[in-house]
Structure 1
Amino acid sequence: MDDESIITRARWARRGALGILTVIALIAVIGLPLYVFPAVPAPPQADLIYVIGPPTATRIADAESLRDQGIADRVLVSVPRSGNDSAEKLSYCWRSYVTCRTPDPFTTRGEAALLSAYASGGDTVVVLTYTPHVLRTRYIFDTCAKAAVTVVPVDERLNLTRWVYNYAYQTAAFVKAGFVGCADPPADALP
């Protein structure tokens, strides 16, 4: 191999690396308003506050804060069937104004269906989730839930790895949501 072909290959390698970095930077910039800084409306007066899974301490604290502000008196929490966050083990579920239920399926689509069992078309609901999930949650709940929904992000800290994962996951899940449709409300979920 002569010196000129080595130099040519090195140039192509640099251009390829620069192209890949440019695509990554472009994806990151496009995703900023979608996943990092979604539009956040002020929570309206509502009939219900809905914490969608998992019921992290931050989401529960935000639900309590909204309740203390008088946004709504009732709280619905999406919980898994088993484990530390299940209705049986999560002490927050024992409060008189809190209802904890497991959606079927245990997905955002299932959570929208569960909400339809609790809220009518005239109800307003504040839904709490983490920031990268806001846009897809709005789409699914606007499409599948009967109630008027305002999705509010909670401030859950994510490291760079989690942000990269969420960019990929939320994008793929958003595309899937466009094809899958809505789930049926569970018959046994009624309050």
Structure 2
Amino acid sequence: MPPTATPFRRHLKHVTVAVLAVVVLWLLVATQLFYNVHTPTPQKAEAVVMLGGASKERLLEALLLRDELDAPYLVLSNTGTPGNASADDYCDTHSNKAIYPDVICFTPDPMNTRGEADAIGLLATERGWKSLAVVTSKYHIARSERLLNQCTPSKIQMVATDPDLSPKQWLRRFVIETGGLLTVFLSPECNSPIR
């Protein structure tokens, strides 16, 4: 005679199925938000902005985009972190404002996307920029676009770069970006555009 399932085992089975369903649903949503990201080509921008981190992937795209759009300014987040080394080096070699008045490097405070959104909002206000093209990794588009729109009235045009990540690294990014996106909605950086 086969053993009958105890109420505890039935409950455990239902909980397990529910948890698996939530995980699968989250993976599907995260894939759409952070992996299957397509951004339209910007039409015009007064500045091309590169957010910090992954500069090996982002800097070249920002430089090419600036040439393509003939944007007057290149704005780089200067973080002093290993992942931003090429952008930080570019800032070091282009720091003479008399020679390179069109290159603006800033150090975000705090050293995260929220700090970048604040700094970019201030720059856009000070310089009267109406349109910005912002380059970042595709997994970072949803969160950074939301933060930037909270902190500046400028038109934000996001440009996604395609990082070379392993499945494990993508899963890690999904977790990080999901948490980050939730905090952007629960605790906005700027209640409305601050400028």
Taking structure 1 as the reference length, the TM-score comes to: 0.78
AA paired with 1:53?
G
Measured in 2, the distance between the counterparts of 1:90 and 1:27 equals 35
Q: Match for residue 151 of structure 1?
A: 158
- The 5-angstrom pairing of residues 1-191 of structure 1 reads 4=3, 19-54=18-53, 56-81=55-80, 85=84, 90-93=88-91, 94-95=93-94, 96=100, 97-120=102-125, 122-182=129-189
Measured in 2, the distance between the counterparts of 1:83 and 1:34 equals 26
Shift of 1:148: 1.3
Measured in 2, the distance between the counterparts of 1:54 and 1:82 equals 8
Measured in 2, the distance between the counterparts of 1:81 and 1:32 equals 30
1:84–1:90: 8 Å Cα contact kept in structure 2? no
Q: Gapped runs of 5+ residues in structure 1? A: 184-191
Give secondary structure in 2 for the equivalent of 1:157.
coil
Q: Match for residue 189 of structure 1?
A: none
Give secondary structure in 2 for the equivalent of 1:69.
helix
Shift of 1:44: 2.0
Query: What is the percent sequence identity of the aligned residues?
Result: 23
Q: Gapped runs of 5+ residues in structure 2? A: 95-99, 191-195
AA paired with 1:92?
Y
Give secondary structure in 1 for the equivalent of 2:69.
coil
Deviation digits for residues 25-75 of structure 1 (CA, Å, limit 9, x no counterpart) = 222112222111234121121000111111511100101111221341321
RMSD: 3.0
